[in-house]
Structure 1
Amino acid sequence: MGLADALAEWTDVDGAQYELGRATGLFADRTFLQVKWVLWSSNPLGQALYDMLHALVRAGVLEYRDEPDHQFRWRTAAPIDGLDG
């Protein structure tokens, strides 16, 4: 499953960071519970995942809403010609 499928519905920031980590191979074969410390504490990897999500929002790949719980989802309309959502 790719990031588009994983974020097809609104997903809270922790779940979105986890799915991005899985999609990039950082959390391969690891459950959310095994890596939640990365998402719930102040550290460079957790911050990088958070920043990457917002970079994807700015690029038009993801949508973002701050209520409730800072959520992300894959943007259904392709932001770039030829990029399927």
Structure 2
Amino acid sequence: MSEYENPERLGREPTVEDIRELMGASTPHFALQIRNRIRTLIADLPPDHPARVEGEREVQRLEQIAFEGEHRGPAIEGERELPSIRRPGQG
């Protein structure tokens, strides 16, 4: 069972901790799936709710890494950068 399906989360208001559990170690490969889960979790919360604020911030970050890749630093001499890395200004 994923954290998203956690039965303890049913029937109660989402918390910032719930958002952080979903965020986990998010990677470009799963960023859009996690983004959708967070959007669903916060959809009914008021705009100023702490979990919604955290969730919306995380949705932006997830969209960025989904489309731009993770930035893990420059390539080490003799090695090439990971294909997921696209530096600003590169097509």
Richer in strand (by share): 1
TM-score (norm 2): 0.31
Q: Which has the higher contact order (CA 8 A, sep 6+)?
A: 1
Work out which of the two has the higher radius of gyration on C-alpha atoms and give 1 or 2. 2
